[in-house]
Amino acid sequence: MIIKNGNTFHLVGKSISYIMTVGRCGDLLHYYFGKKMANKDYSDRIMDKEYGLLTCVDDYCFLETLPYEYPAYGYADLRDPAYIVGNLDGNTVSRLIYKDYAIVENEVTHIDGMPYIFAGKQKPDTLKITLADDIIGLEVVLSYTVFEEYDVILRSAEIINRTEGDMNIESAYSASIDFDKGCYDLVYFPGAWTREREFTRTEIKLGEKIDISNARGGSGHAMNPFVMLCGKDATERNGDVYGFSLIYSGNHSSVAECDQYGNVRVRQGINPFGFDWILESGESFYTPQCVLCYSADGFGGISREMHDLYRNNLCKSKWAGIDRPILINNWEGTYFDFTEEKLLNIAKAAKPLGIEMFVLDDGWFGKRDNDRCSLGDWFVNEKKLPSGIKGLAEKMNAEGLKFGLWFEPEMVNPDSELYRVHPDWAISVPDRVPAKGRHQYMLDLANDEVCDYVIKSVADILREANVEYVKWDYNRMMTDMPCKGYNHRYTLGLYKVMEALIAEFPDVLFEGCASGGGRFDPGMLAYSPQIWTSDNSDAVSRLKIQYSTSVCYPMSTISAHVTASPNHQVGRVTSLKTRADVACAGVFGYELDITKLPEEELEEIKEQIKFVNKIRTLTRTGDLYRLQSPYEGNYCSWQVVSKDKSEVLLFACRILSPANSKEANIYLDGLEPAADYIDTETNEVWGGDELMYKGITPVYENCDFATIVKLFKRV
Ligand code: GLA
């Protein structure tokens, strides 16, 4: 619901309020974001009292500490701005004044050419506020969407050039909020290849600016476009937390800045570093959408809100709303060394275990036997696969399995037929040999002709063969950008390619990937309902990676496979049980050569798959509660509760086996206190209150990496 009361705009969500006012000098100001408040006219609440050495205009208002909704730099506010435009006079001074508003019911702002949150079955209302700087001919339309069912606000900005000439956008964030409570921490998710998204919390000190940004091309392993601002006392279960998630796959930036008086400004949007956009007369520039989320129930509360939103309103694929097939991928099983016969042998062994799909990974095209050649040549390597992809898919189908295929369509190896014909299609600058990453260049998706080639090369195969799943990989970061702002042009090209393929192949399940989780962001999730979370498939490393990924992203997006032991990335030996129990916390699959496993392990896999079949709807749709953090000690546990609270899945892991110690109790969450729950394995009956308040003391096997998985049903 959106209410206009005097000069106040009040956006009311499920249990939140977001309140803005138009100040007495016409600036749009932020008043409040948090727990729901009464509908009142808050217009005169924001004080422009003079204190310190503040800038002002005339003798009264417009002071530097005002909480602007879309702040500018260089007129009165001296903190970092939400936007910078260069104007015809050659300066960047600007001030936006409120002009107008419109409320659109049952609608979300559709952002042309970019992924965005759609209305779905929910009831969103959108407020559009027009601000203008008439002196420089700039107009900005700020969009705010609020849902009756969620505690989120969607924000984006449209920047319009109302001059006769060009305008240069140097920076355009999607959202900026000024918080005035003081004493905040920032949680963010830095990482690296095989160490993605480490849960990191830091205090925002007075005068400090914390810049959580990435300029590596894709959203990146190094920093995820999701941050949380929280009170000092916020925990997993309690406390005020604000989430900021950017629906974008290119260079991003989230900045938290604490001014000299303790006010904290948080901005999120496209990274202004390396960005520049010439806006012609009358043209608009659209920022990506930013999701703002508030919860009084700690990080867990934020997660459950974000999960519902991203499960229901982000990905239009039919697969977003159904259980995914249990797959076997050949990558860690064979790497590049396979023949049709070898693949079919794996498939023959997989089917009786209950596996539903075979995915052929890298190495099936051109003359690719290693990672030095053939990207760009999307025709089958007949030496390895004499029946072609069509023939192989038919054979897989005849074994009773669906068939999926790996592509890395945004890339080209210098040693490829494509590059020999079209060296000009690789991203490069004049007179400089482009830098290689994994022996490959990136294709120039800012060029429509290249996008058409990429679409055609994937589509031709999907038209010809019964490929029901595509793993869309992206294995290097961007260099040699031909101009400022190139990264955004590329990202728009990528979205165009994805839109075209999704539209033509609505039944194909797309899985995103970027050397593991190097582009795990809501932009890619709009096209691929699941993403390969990390190239690190070690169960113990995955405890942390999946734990922290789940803070923003639902389990239905987190692809997780059981691989061989010793693990190929870290050399760790873990039991098949531990590996499967950890992989249950995501979109479950296998990635090892099962033809080499002993009979007992094959029997164990059969049982694992039976169990996954019982729980996969629950993990895809239920509410996640993280109970013990692997970042804080020797345990990791989490729990999923069905929306009707009738089913509960509990996972717990004790990482190292201690001698002569008492186990930490696990306190479940989100159950019906008065209901009884039966442990479906032991038939023990527990009270919901008992599981939550008294807790249970788990009994682990006497070994390292011991795991427990329990399924409870309400009696
Ligand atoms: C990336 C992916 C892996 C695999 C390889 C193939 O590293 O993350 O899963 O597909 O590429 O080259």
User: How far is the C-alpha of 509 from the C-alpha of 307, rounded, in Å?
Assistant: 20
Q: Minimal CA–CA distance to 83: which of 188, 161, 5? A: 161
Q: Which of 297, 535, 581, 669 is catalytic?
A: 535
* Distances from the Cα of 711 to the Cα of 135, 341, 618, 646, 666, angstroms: 65, 39, 10, 11, 15
Task: Based on DSSP, count helices (H) and strands (E) in the chain, helices before strands.
Answer: 12, 36
Is 50 a residue whose pLDDT tops 60? no
Q: What is the mean pLDDT of residues 449-473?
A: 98
User: How far is the C-alpha of 323 from the C-alpha of 325, rounded, in Å?
Assistant: 7
Token pair of 197 as six digits: 């998204």
How much is the pLDDT for 213? 96
User: How far is the C-alpha of 143 from the C-alpha of 140, rounded, in Å?
Assistant: 10
Q: Minimal CA–CA distance to 334: which of 364, 356, 354? A: 364
| Position 59 confidence tier, pLDDT thresholds 50, 70, 90 | low
Q: Are 280 and 220 in contact (CB under 8 A)?
A: no
Is 488 a residue whose pLDDT tops 90? yes
How much is the pLDDT for 49? 59
Q: Are 558 and 586 in contact (CB under 8 A)?
A: yes
Query: Is 180 one of the catalytic residues?
Result: no
Q: What is the pLDDT of residues 394-420, one digit of tens each?
A: 999 999 999 999 999 999 999 999 999
Quote the ligand 1 centre to 473 CA distance (angstroms).
7
Token pair of 273 as six digits: 């570093």
Query: Is 473 one of the catalytic residues?
Result: yes
Is 666 a residue whose pLDDT tops 70? yes
Q: Minimal CA–CA distance to 588: which of 598, 600, 579? A: 579
Query: Packing angle between helix 388-398 and helix 448-464, nearest 10 degrees?
Result: 40
Q: What is the pLDDT of residues 691-710, one digit of tens each?
A: 999 999 999 999 999 999 99
User: How far is the C-alpha of 421 from the C-alpha of 712, rounded, in Å?
Assistant: 60
Mean pLDDT, rounded, of the chain: 96
How much is the pLDDT for 57? 63
Q: Phi and psi at residue 556, in whole multiples of 5°?
A: -70, -5
- According to CATH, what is the number of the domain 628-714? 2.60.40.1180
Q: What is the mean pLDDT of residues 17-26?
A: 92
Q: What is the pLDDT of residues 533-565, one digit of tens each?
A: 999 999 999 999 999 999 999 999 999 999 999
Quote the ligand 1 centre to 590 CA distance (angstroms).
14
How much is the pLDDT for 65? 80
Is 47 a residue whose pLDDT tops 90? no
How much is the pLDDT for 691? 98
Token pair of 513 as six digits: 């990937």
pTM across the whole model: 0.98
- What stretch(es) of the chain map to CATH 3.20.20.70? 326-621
Atom of ligand 1 nearest to the CA of 514: 8
Q: Are 88 and 163 in contact (CB under 8 A)?
A: yes
* Residue ID of nearest Cα to ligand 1 atom 1: 515
Beta bridge partner(s), residue 405: 360, 470
* Residue ID of nearest Cα to ligand 1 atom 6: 362
Is 261 a residue whose pLDDT tops 90? no
Q: Which of 259, 308, 473, 593 is catalytic?
A: 473
Q: Which residues line ligand 1 (CB under 6 A)?
A: 331, 361-362, 371, 406, 473, 475, 513, 515-516, 532, 535
CATH 2.70.98.60 for the 2-313 domain, yes or no: yes
Q: What is the pLDDT of residues 572-610, one digit of tens each?
A: 999 999 999 999 999 999 999 999 999 999 999 999 999
Q: What is the mean pLDDT of residues 111-128?
A: 95
Q: Are 33 and 12 in contact (CB under 8 A)?
A: no
Is 640 a residue whose pLDDT tops 60? yes
Beta bridge partner(s), residue 636: 653
Identify which of 361, 407, 542, 563 to mutate to test ligand 1's pocket (most ligand atoms within 8 A of the CB). Answer: 361
| Position 61 confidence tier, pLDDT thresholds 50, 70, 90 | low
Q: What is the mean pLDDT of residues 276-295?
A: 97
Q: From 3.20.20.70, 3.40.190.10, 3.40.50.1370, 3.10.520.10, which CATH number describes the 326-621 domain?
A: 3.20.20.70
Token pair of 712 as six digits: 């409870």
How much is the pLDDT for 109? 87
- What stretch(es) of the chain map to CATH 2.60.40.1180? 628-714
pLDDT exceeding 90 applies to what percent of the chain? Answer: 93
